[in-house]
Amino acid sequence: MTIKLLLSKIRRIDFEKYGPLFALAILFIISAIASPYFIKTRNLLNILRQVSYTGIIGLGMTFVIISGGIDLSVGSMTALVGGIMILTLNHFGGGVSAILMVLLVGILLGAGAGALNGIIITKGRVAPFIVTLGTMAVYRSLTLYISNAGEFRSNSNLYPELGMGAFLEIPNPVWIFFLLAILCSIILNYTKFGRYVRAVGSNDKVATYSGIRVDRVRFLTYVLVGVMVAVSALLLSSRLNSISSSNAAVNYELDAIAAVIIGGTAMSGGSGTVFGTVIGAIILGIVNNMLNMLGISPYLQGTVKGLVIIGAVLIQKKKKRS
């Protein structure tokens, strides 16, 4: 009986936590067999860098989704914040102090944009889907307006270093992605806030009865994702040394959400892991990479990608149940 119990316990922990990892492993093996270029260090680092932008946003999105919400505005928000970052950079001359200002302004702006979402959702009691659908349009439109539908461009030589550089051979965005992932994981698992996020997502009535300020917790998850958006915008804008108002970060929301969910977080809220989101983002990155590497008909790439997203989640479910 106890052995049975133990076994069933191990089994449960196993697939709830490592399901996404399992899906990743399968994909990795298939990819390695399918393309000789895949396991080159350089290619793997490329993949990691490519996923870090949406991955970082995904970290914040994990909190939002666990708390029972959703944020569709992150892509537009990235473009807006990134654009204003470049304006700030140009305004302050492009030196080290300018970059610090960019960081400050960006994070304040990201937090502010997230806070706006959060306030309407909590105070106005409007569904997150609809609020962020609205602000998605608003943020993108403001970006277009400020830049006259053109590009934000910097002339700084220093700024691109940030997004292009590497430390110990590993690109800066990847470092930041992983460091933030660890930080977010700690927040989710080892702080009151993290626990409240889960409680609110699981049952907000119970959370209220337990004296948790549900609205404040929800609000903070949107602020958090806003801050993550700012970091992503910083890395993105410094990588390209520019932000295109119409094109930058389009569909980031879909990739970020897909990463979270492939990572095993339930859309219905209440549970999920940051670790899973990282895996989810990498899975998406590998799929994109393989589609290019294998030279699949460009028109069919969407089919493959769609099937992989569904498949990755299906694999986990099957494993969890058995």
Partner 1 sequence: PKIRIGVSIPTADHGWTGGINWWAQKAIKEWQAKDPDVTFFLVTADSPAKQVADVEDLMVKGIDALVILAHDSAPLTPIVEKVYNEGIFVVSVDRGLTKPVEHVYVAGDNPGLGRVSAEWMAKELNYKGSIVVLEGIPCVINSERVDAFNEVMKKYPNIKILDSQPAYWSTQKGLEIMENYLQKYDKIDAVWAQDDDVLKGVLQAYKESRRKDILFFLGGAGSKEIIKMVMDGDKQVRADVTYPPSMIGTGISMAVMSLRGEKLNGFYQNQIPSKIILAAELITVGNAKSYYEPDSIF
Partner 2 sequence: MDPVAEKEIPLLEVKGISKEFSGVRVLDRVSFSLSRGEIFGIIGENGAGKSTLIKIISGIYHPTEGSLLFEGKSVTVRDAETAHKMGINLIPQEFNLIPEMTVSENIFLGKELRNRWFLDKRAMIEKTRSLLEHLRSDIAADARIESLSVAQKQMVEFAKALASESKLLILDEPTTVLTRKEIDILFEIMRQAKQSGVAMIYISHKLKEVKEICDKVMVLRDGKLISIESSEHLGVHDMATKMVGRELSQIFPPKAKPQEDTVLQVRNLSVPNCLEGVSFDLKRGEILGFAGLVGAGRTELAETLIGIRKKSAGTILLNGKEVYVKNPTRAFASGLAYLSEDRQGSGILTAFGITENITLTSLKRYSRFLLKKKEEALKAQEYVRKFDIKAASLKTRLEFFSGGNQQKVSFAKSLDSDPQIILIDEPTRGIDVQAKHEMYRFIHSLVEGGLSCVLISSEMEEVIGMSNRVVVMKEGRITGILTGDQINEEEIMFYATGLKGVA
Note whether 277 binds partner 1 by CB under 8 A.
Answer: no
CB 171 → a copy of itself: shortest distance, Å?
27
Which residue from 25, 27, 19, 18 is spatially nearest to 286, judged by alpha carbons?
Answer: 27
**Between 138 and 187, whose beta carbon lies closer to partner 1?**
138
The site string for partner 1 over 198-237 (x = CB under 8 A, - otherwise) reads: --------------------------------------x-
Q: Is 94 left (phi over 0), alpha (psi -120 to 50) or beta?
A: left
For the chain, the 3-state helix, strand and coil shares in percent, each to the nearest 5, are 75, 5, 20
Q: Cα separation of 48 and 25, whole Å?
A: 15
144 is an interface residue for partner 1 by CB under 8 A: yes
**322 lies in the binding site for a copy of itself (CB under 8 A):** no
Binding mask 47-76 for partner 1 (x = CB under 8 A): --xx--x-----------------------
Q: Is 271 in the site for a copy of itself (CB under 8 A)?
A: no
Tokens of 259: 């990463």
What's the token pair of residue 47? 């993949």
* Residue 164 interacts with, from partner 1, a copy of itself, partner 2, none (CB under 5-8 Å by kind): partner 1
Give the nearest distance from C-beta 187 to a copy of itself in angstroms.
24
What residue spans of the chain are helical by DSSP H?
A: 2-34, 41-66, 74-91, 96-123, 128-147, 159-164, 172-190, 192-202, 204-209, 214-240, 252-262, 274-293, 301-321
Q: Give whichever of 45 and 103 is closer to partner 1, judged by the CB atom.
A: 45
Q: Is the dihedral of CA 87, 93, 95, 101 positive or negative?
A: negative
Whether the Cβ atoms of residue 105 and residue 84 lie closer than 8 Å to each other = yes
Please, what is the minimum distance in Å from the beta carbon of residue 280 to partner 2?
Answer: 19
Residue of 178, 145, 177, 156 whose CA lies nearest to 76 = 145
Q: Determine the Cα–Cα distance for residues 24 and 252; give it in Å rounded to an integer.
A: 21
Asked whether position 247 contacts a copy of itself by CB under 8 A, the answer is no
Q: Which of 85, 229, 240, 261 binds a copy of itself (CB under 8 A)?
A: 261
* Segment lying near a copy of itself (by CB under 8 A), choices 131-139, 158-166, 173-181, 234-242: 131-139
Among 101-109, 206-214, 257-265, 305-313, which window interacts with partner 2 (CB under 8 A)?
A: 206-214
Instruction: Check residue 153 and report its DSSP letter.
Output: E
Rounded Cα distance between 308 and 318, Å, is 15
Interface with partner 1 (CB under 8 A):
37, 40, 42-43, 46, 49-50, 53, 144, 147-151, 153, 160, 164, 236, 239-251, 288-289, 292-293, 295, 298-299, 301
